Amino acid sequence: MRAVGLTEFGGPEALTVLELDEPHASPGEVRIRVRAASVVPADGMFRNGALAARLTSPAPWVPGTEVAGVVDEAPDGSPWAVGDEVIAIVVPFHQRPGAYAEHVVVPVGSVGPRPQSCDFDTAAALPMSGLTASALVDLLHLERGESVAVTGAGGVVGSLVVQLARRAGATVLADAAGGDEEVVRGGDYAQQIRQLRPDGVDVLVDAALIGASLLPAVRDGGRAASLRAGQLESERGISIVSVSVWDYAEDSARLRALSSLIDEGALVPPQVRTFAMEDAAAAHEALGRGGQRARSVLVF
């Protein structure tokens, strides 16, 4: 099968098209014929060697953490059948290739149904970002009427957090359209929040990874979350929440719930920009530039 991977760590130019043996599913797994695989920040860290300590196999290495495709191998007893259209989380640190491949093998728990209202390209951008946003909102225990400030609300994860927080009954202050109140990007974010909420917001979600300078926006005893562990430290009794998507890599029920919300029209899926698999380097160059409101997706 064809895959996009690397034999040594480096910049986007390190990515190349490889010919690899096809993997096969064992009991408790399914094989997916990949139609699309998204390009997320963790893929850049995989490519440049920042995650090298997690790798358990020699080169070549294949990055990629989320896919949309069609089940083409399902051992007896599987909850999935050949022909099912699915989305899945792929953990690229083990012996098998990551998501940038024509076929991936994953545990059955890492799979959810593809939203029928989305094409494969759009659906591929949902698993990792959707699980992250959903888990964050749950861990923050949002209550109806609470105020939530979200940075990076125009990005993939941030936009999903905004929507899920509003579904929970929170009032959202965001730096992009979709919130109940808008905060202008740039300048002193915390000061802007305090002008809107003199006592501070109940909850802050830092999807833009701005960091500790945001904490003055939060009321004493409030809660704050970042997409990166260690970005925020508690002060004034503020509870700090972090989430690792790998803790939810086999949360099939959560993937199913996200797909249902999209098909019901209750959740707007991420915007995507597609690249041919041969153009993976260009997709990674776009990733490195940052500020992308659409998720780059490789089409297979």
Q: Are 243 and 139 in contact (CB under 8 A)?
A: yes
Contact assessment for residue 281 and residue 13, using Cβ atoms and an 8 Å cutoff? yes
- pLDDT tens track for 161-193: 999 999 999 999 998 756 777 786 667 899 999
**Is 130-245 in CATH node 3.40.50.720?**
yes
Q: How many helices (H) and strands (E) does the chain have?
A: 7, 15
* R_g of the chain computed on alpha carbons: 19
Instruction: State how beta strands 295-299 and 272-276 pair.
Output: parallel
- Say which residues have a Cβ less than 8 Å from residue 15's Cβ, sequence separation at least 6: 4, 5, 6, 47, 280, 281, 284
List Cβ neighbours of 244 (8 Å cut-off, separation of 6 or more): 229
The tens digit of pLDDT for each residue in 58-85 reads 999 999 999 999 999 999 999 999 999 9
What are the C-alpha distances in Å from 78 to residues 29, 31, 32, 75?
8, 11, 13, 6
* Pair of tokens at residue 68: 């949309």
**Residue-wise pLDDT tens digits, 120-173:** 999 999 999 999 999 999 999 999 999 999 999 999 999 999 999 999 999 999
Instruction: For the chain, give every residue range classified as CATH 3.90.180.10.
Output: 2-126+269-299
CATH code of the domain occupying 2-126+269-299: 3.90.180.10
For the beta sheet containing 171-174, the strands, ordered from the edge strand earlier in sequence to the opposite edge, are 181-182, 171-174, 147-151, 201-206, 218-226, 239-242
pTM to 2 decimals? Answer: 0.93
* Residue 44: pLDDT band with limits 50, 70, 90: very high
Mean pLDDT of the chain: 95
| Start and end residues for every CATH 3.40.50.720 domain found in the chain | 130-245
Non-local (6+) Cβ contacts of 291 within 8 A are none
Each residue's pLDDT tens digit, 210-251: 999 999 999 999 999 998 888 899 999 999 999 999 999 999
Please give the Cα distance from 267 to 218 (Å, whole number): 27
- Alpha helices by DSSP H, listed for the chain, are 41-48, 120-123, 127-139, 156-167, 189-196, 252-263, 280-289
